[in-house]
């Protein structure tokens, strides 16, 4: 789950990191009222789940309330890389002496947490990595050992931060690591982390990605899930507990398991088609789950055929077949369905399906043949 900047700052503040006061608003009048409460000068910042806000005109300095009204009116409704701005963060402006970069994420290949720190903040870290890779100090942290103060100080020293920033940076990095691990985050990033003219280190921006699978440990994460960007199809699938991503093709895809679903999307492309979605129904392919999946795909007007690709594991083939047939009785399907069924008890499942095959329900032996048929039907 990607958080808005203001949500990320609220998240960081829980762990004791210094952030600027601000308010999330949804209209020009609310922006003006927030600025009056905070007291100008303030920053008017677009809240979208993408980068590049500044270059797109989504971050503006407002020295007075009139400027807030002007900037808020210009930024609300602005399209930034396909994300339309519907909320703003009005934040008390900060004086900046220097800008740094700090982040933690998981290095899967090393099986350790990776921390990155640079004295070249305020720009995309990818740009720094390309143009001046030596400016990024990295640290790999064993999850068992954690980030010790000694290791943190050595890391800050390796980044060549000035002495005035050392103590404040060590303190924030320690808290950032705690937020990252205890908060079940996939990524925490501060860019920029600033040094003020008064010598204080301060969080000026926040990028946070949380592990959605950790919601059971964090009841308050439901508020973040509710603000994830989803189109109508994705919202309907989410309400049914389905893992769904809308695409722009005409072949609806249903598969059990994320890996198989991704492979199914790929093979549809391989044979010249265009998938309408990624849909993972998980380990179960019973009638309720299958009916929900078919309903979501059936409501997509772009879908011309449906490719159901199931590999039976714990869920046996005959259960899958019965689930598909029962689901088809519950949902009035507009598009023809092509099924590929393999895995545990696949033969039994195919025998159940075979008497029900017709021009609306077809079955192929292999994933490639099924993909070709689905693409042909969608043409």
Tell me what percent of the residues of the chain surpass a pLDDT of 70: 98
Query: What average pLDDT does the segment 8-37 reach?
Result: 97
Domain boundary among 198, 223, 248: 223
DSSP characters over 3-51: PPHHHHHHHHHHTT--B--EEEESSHHHHHHHHHHH-SSEEEEE--SSS
Half-sphere CA count of 379, side-chain side, radius 13 A: 10
- Write the pLDDT tens digit of every residue in 123-152: 788 888 888 888 999 999 999 999 999 999
Domain boundary among 38, 59, 92: 92
Half-sphere CA count of 4, side-chain side, radius 13 A: 22
Q: How far apart are CA 192 and CA 215, in angstroms?
A: 28
Q: Which of 101, 221, 224, 244 is catalytic?
A: 101
Q: Is the Cα torsion angle 1, 224, 204, 200 positive or negative in sign?
A: negative
Give the model's pLDDT for residue 132: 87
210 shares its domain with 246 = no
Query: What average pLDDT does the segment 72-99 reach?
Result: 96
Q: Is residue 10 part of a domain?
A: no
177 shares its domain with 218 = yes
Q: Which of 5, 98, 189, 318 is catalytic?
A: 189
Give the model's pLDDT for residue 284: 63
Q: How far apart are CA 207 and CA 240, in angstroms?
A: 29
Domain boundary among 36, 57, 92: 92
Does residue 274 carry a pLDDT above 90? yes
Give the model's pLDDT for residue 131: 87
Q: Which residue has the higher pLDDT, 250 or 219?
A: 250
Q: Which two tokens stand for residue 362?
A: 């077809």
Residue-wise burial string across 14-39, b where 16 or more C-beta atoms lie within 10 A, e elsewhere: ebebbbbebbbbeebebbbbbbeebe
Is 189 in the active site? yes
172 shares its domain with 300 = no
Query: What average pLDDT does the segment 347-353 reach?
Result: 94
Those residues whose C-beta lies under 8 Å from the C-beta of residue 268, and which sit 6 or more positions away, are: 249, 251, 253, 274, 275, 307, 371, 374, 375
Give the model's pLDDT for residue 291: 85
Q: Is residue 3 part of a domain?
A: no
Q: In what order do the strands lie in the sheet with 22-25?
A: 22-25, 88-92, 42-46, 59-62
Is 234 in the active site? no
Give the model's pLDDT for residue 282: 79
185 shares its domain with 281 = no
CATH number, domain of 251, equals 3.40.50.261
290 shares its domain with 322 = yes
- Write the pLDDT tens digit of every residue in 237-271: 777 778 888 899 999 999 988 899 999 999 999 99
**At 282, phi and psi to the nearest 5?**
80, -160
- Write the pLDDT tens digit of every residue in 283-324: 666 778 888 888 889 888 999 999 999 988 777 888 888 888
Query: What average pLDDT does the segment 159-172 reach?
Result: 97
Secondary structure E strands in 108-184 = 112-118, 136-141
What is this structure's pTM? 0.75
Q: Is residue 8 part of a domain?
A: no
Does residue 230 carry a pLDDT above 70? no
Does residue 170 carry a pLDDT above 90? yes
Q: Which two tokens stand for residue 90?
A: 């009005």
Q: Residue 231 — pLDDT band, cuts 50, 70, 90? A: low
Number of independent structural domains in the chain: 3
Does residue 163 carry a pLDDT above 90? yes
Range of the domain at 240: 232-378
Q: Which two tokens stand for residue 263?
A: 């492979």
**Please, are residues 255 and 339 in contact by the beta-carbon 8 Å criterion?**
no
């Amino acid at each position: 789950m990607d958080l808005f900047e203001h949500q990320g700052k609220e998240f960081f503040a829980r762990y004791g990191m210094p952030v600027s006061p601000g308010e999330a608003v949804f209209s020009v009048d609310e922006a003006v009222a927030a600025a009056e409460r905070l007291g100008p000068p303030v920053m008017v910042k677009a809240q979208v789940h993408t980068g590049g806000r500044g270059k797109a005109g989504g971050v503006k300095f407002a020295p007075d309330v009139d400027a807030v009204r002007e900037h808020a009116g210009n930024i609300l409704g602005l399209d930034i890389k396909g994300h339309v701005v519907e909320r703003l963060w009005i934040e008390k402006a900060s004086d900046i002496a220097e800008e740094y970069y700090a982040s933690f994420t998981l290095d899967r290949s090393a099986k350790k947490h990776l921390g990155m720190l640079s004295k070249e903040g305020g720009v995309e870290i990818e740009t720094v990595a390309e143009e001046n890779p030596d400016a990024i100090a990295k640290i790999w942290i064993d999850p068992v050992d954690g980030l010790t103060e000694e290791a943190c100080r050595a890391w800050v020293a390796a980044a060549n931060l000035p002495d005035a920033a050392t103590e404040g940076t060590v303190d924030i990095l320690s808290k950032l690591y705690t937020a990252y691990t205890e908060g079940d985050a996939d990524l925490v990033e501060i860019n920029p982390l600033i040094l003020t003219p008064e010598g204080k280190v301060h969080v000026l921006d926040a990028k946070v990605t949380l592990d959605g699978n950790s919601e059971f440990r964090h009841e308050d994460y439901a508020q973040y899930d509710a603000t994830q960007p989803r189109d109508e199809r994705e919202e309907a699938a989410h309400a049914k507990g389905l893992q769904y991503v809308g695409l722009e093709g005409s072949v609806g895809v249903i598969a059990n398991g994320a890996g198989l679903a991704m492979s199914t999307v790929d093979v549809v492309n391989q044979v010249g088609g265009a998938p309408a979605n990624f849909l993972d129904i998980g380990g179960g392919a019973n009638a309720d789950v299958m009916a929900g999946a078919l309903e979501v795909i059936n409501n997509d007007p772009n879908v011309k055929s449906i490719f159901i690709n199931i590999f039976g594991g714990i869920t046996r083939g005959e259960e899958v077949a019965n689930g598909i047939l029962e689901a088809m009785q519950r949902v009035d399907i507009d598009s023809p369905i092509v099924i590929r069924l393999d895995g545990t008890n696949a033969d039994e499942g195919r025998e159940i399906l075979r008497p029900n095959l017709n021009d609306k329900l077809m079955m192929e032996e292999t994933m490639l043949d099924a993909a070709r048929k689905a693409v042909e039907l969608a043409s």
